[in-house]
Structure 1
Amino acid sequence: MTLRFSDVCIDARDVHAIANWWATALGWRQEDADDGDVVLRAPEGAGPDWLFLAVPEGKTVKNRIHFDFVPDDQAAEVERLIALGARHVDIGQGDESWVVLADPEGNEFCVLSAEG
């Protein structure tokens, strides 16, 4: 028996708004599913697709899983994401080399130091 990783599923109050935000942030193609969900199609080699699922409740606690992104330029990428609507969050990380942000629905993610 084998398993194939196909989707990262993300609960959202407004699937269209948050999927559009991430599509803009990542530069990925966005598709509406027949059931009202929204899919972001990962480019070849970029990992699984992201599937946004509608839920009635908002996020209330720190994520148990999150995304880490490696930019070319950390400061420029953090600035770009904040301009798109992300915000800095403190989850107790202290003074680290990565920057913790949250998307417009409050889902935390990290922008790591640029690899060079």
Structure 2
Amino acid sequence: MPRYTKPRGDSTLCDTHAGFTKDQLSDLTRLLKRGIQAGLIAASTRVIWTISDEGWIFEGRITNAEQHEYHGYPLRPSEPITHAVYQRFLAWAMLHGDAIDQQAAANCRDLYGFKS
């Protein structure tokens, strides 16, 4: 039987899809802080979300609880959680965020095609 070579429709995106490069690794602390401040943490605390300045929603899932290691990746616009993450981030950005946070929310709206 030949090996399956077509792309999976349900596979996660990788950093390159969102234009996230090694040069931006220094932004991770700031982006994680943004997600925490905006309350983008799952009740189980095993998942955290954040929104990049370019508008991409990133999800981080814990892979090693003892070492506090997470694996992060950008979310596809079709993933159901994206709108809820955006709405919570938008509310936080408008009340507590600075101009960069508010622009990130606008970029997210445009990138993901949200109406509000």
TM-score range, shorter-chain basis?
0.3 to 0.5
Which structure dedicates a bigger proportion of its chain to helix?
2
TM-score of the superposition, structure 2-length normalised? 0.34
TM-score of the superposition, structure 1-length normalised? 0.34
Which structure dedicates a bigger proportion of its chain to strand?
1
